[in-house]
Copies of this chain bind each other. A is one copy, B any other.
Amino acid sequence: MGLLGLGTVGGGVARLLREHPDRIDRRAGRPIELAAVAVRDRGRPRAQELKDIRFADTAESVVNDPSIDVIIETIGGVTDARRLVLAALANGKHVATANKALLAEHGAEIFAQARRFDRAVAFEGSVGGGIPIVQALGVSLAANQIQSLAAILNGTCNYILTRMTGDGMAYAHALAEAQRLGYAEADPTLDVDGTDTVHKLAILVQLAFETSVAPGAIPTRGIDALDVADITYAGELGHAVKLLALARLSDAGLELRVGPTLVKHGTPLAEVRGPYNAVRVVGDALGDALFQGRGAGAMPTASAVVGDLIDIAAGRALATSRIRAYWPANAPPPVLAPPSQIKSRYYLRFTIADQPGVLARIAHILGDHGISIASVIQHDSGDDAPEASPVPLVIMTHLAIQAGVDSALALINRLDVVHAPSVCMRVEE
């Protein structure tokens, strides 16, 4: 096999292959040899156990090497990865990749190439780190129609939210700590704005619902604009805030979204803390199940990628690629449930003038839109506050139609007694 990239994941893969060759050969049913490694910068310092690795001149020379049967792609990004994976498949090589952006954005092209050359593309490492959720949805749970997925898919965000929750830390402070501990990249944009999560959701949707959805078609919000005050109020209302990826099938269509979401204390997803990932799956035969584990990091992701390598060597991955038509060509986009058909409870926070009658006016607008109120938190502005300071008004609704909530919020935000853009988050049970 040839390895492209020797960063966090690639380094972990190389380490696992070099430290445990007997175990891996035995479980793969044949010897696996790391024949070539391509890196961008050969001069970069490497961990001790990777010091004597021989580097190929170029990534192209690895994907063109006729002695290589399998390419492991861990370089990340889309442009080079796409070109190299397509070339590897054209050269008759199987591919294992941990690249969620590549599959979410170019899955149809990659899998068309795989089918054309009858090769396997395995991608357990692309979602959920070490959690075998790709195999579970694609193989183990194949008897089911999956009805819903709710998942925490970004360890960086979950770490930041955990710190904001437990210690009331501000977002910027929690992010800086995550970076110091190596949980967040130097440029964490794709993690915290939800892009990474929506890529992973698009992959899970392909597996679970056999439909190709463009990540851009999924309503997505990150945690980068989240105020710690909302985490505190959510806590007072008995909920944790999680960056949740949601997919739910109903008669109205497929509901898809990524965003900060209130999850009830004591439910499994609310209890997922630190850099962990978790996926809650509901299937028509299975009922509900939960998969939880380390969602990122060198070795957990390497566990998934080397698992794919073993699956390829054993011939199972090709059988799966042939039968399950992942990312079929010219697939129609999924029927998405319209906002008029999506029902949820909502958390709303308004910043309002501290004067009589405001709650009544807001409640009136909500009522006009069929939205009934389950809980309210309104504290006065305190003795120290300058007179007429705006105060927060927090409302948890009963089940309400999304379209109604959208309309009500637009009206409420136009009231002269409402000061700032309102906060609106979904509540999942």
Instruction: Point out residues on A near B: beta carbons under 8 Å.
Output: 12, 16, 20, 23-24, 27-29, 124, 130-132, 135-136, 139-145, 266, 268, 271, 283-294, 297, 299-300, 302-304, 306-307, 309-311, 314-316, 319-320, 322-324
Docked pose: A266 CA to B273 CA in angstroms: 11
Bound state CA distance, A27 and B319, in angstroms? 11
> Are A285 and B314 touching (Cβ within 8 A)?
no
- Least distance between A322 CB and chain B CB atoms (Å): 7
CB distance from A306 to the nearest CB of B (A): 4
What residue in chain B is nearest A301 (Cβ atoms)? Answer: B285
- Cα of A315 to Cα of B318 in the assembled complex, Å: 10
**Contact between A324 and B289, CB atoms less than 8 A apart:** no
A283 — which chain B residues lie within 8 A by C-beta?
Answer: 130, 303
CB contact under 8 A between A140 and B144, given known A283-B303, A291-B289 = no
- Interchain CB contact under 8 A, A136 and B144: no
Contact A16:B285 (CB < 8 A) given known A135-B139, A143-B302: yes
How near does chain B come to A62, taking the closest CB pair, in angstroms?
21
Copies in the complex: 2
Q: Which residues of B contact A300 (CB under 8 A)?
A: 285-287
Q: A23-B145, A135-B139 given as contacts; is B130 within 8 A of A289 (CB)? A: yes
| CB–CB A29/B290 < 8 A | no
- Distance in angstroms between the alpha carbons of A261 and B297 in the assembled complex: 32
Complex Cα distance, B29 from A290, in Å, reads: 27
C-alpha gap A345/B198 in the complex (Å)? 44
**Minimum Cβ distance to chain B for residue A114 (Å):** 16
What 5 pairs across the A-B complex have the smallest Cβ distances?
A: A132-B140, A289-B293, A29-B323, A143-B306, A285-B303
Asked if B141 and A132 sit within 8 Å, CB to CB, the answer is yes
Contact across chains for B140 and A124 when beta carbons are under 8 A apart: yes
* Chain B hits for A144, CB < 8 A: 303
Taking a contact as CB atoms under 8 Å apart, the answer to whether A293 and B303 are in contact is: no
Q: By the criterion CB–CB under 8 Å, are B143 and A303 in contact?
A: yes
Report chain B residues within 8 Å CB of A302.
143, 285
B143 to A307, Cβ gap below 8 A?
yes
**Which residue of the partner chain B has the closest CB to A12?**
B285
Q: Contacts of A135 on B, CB cut-off 8 Å?
A: 132, 135-136, 139-140
- Please, which residue of chain B has its CB at the minimum distance from the CB of A299? B285
Contact of A289 among B27, B131, B143, B266 (CB under 8 A): B131
Output the residue of A140, A271, A299 with the most chain B CB within 10 A: A140
Distance from A6 Cβ to chain B, minimum over Cβ atoms (Å): 17
Partner among B285, B294, B319, B324 whose Cβ is within 8 Å of the Cβ of A286: B294
CA distance A144 to B290 in the complex (A): 21
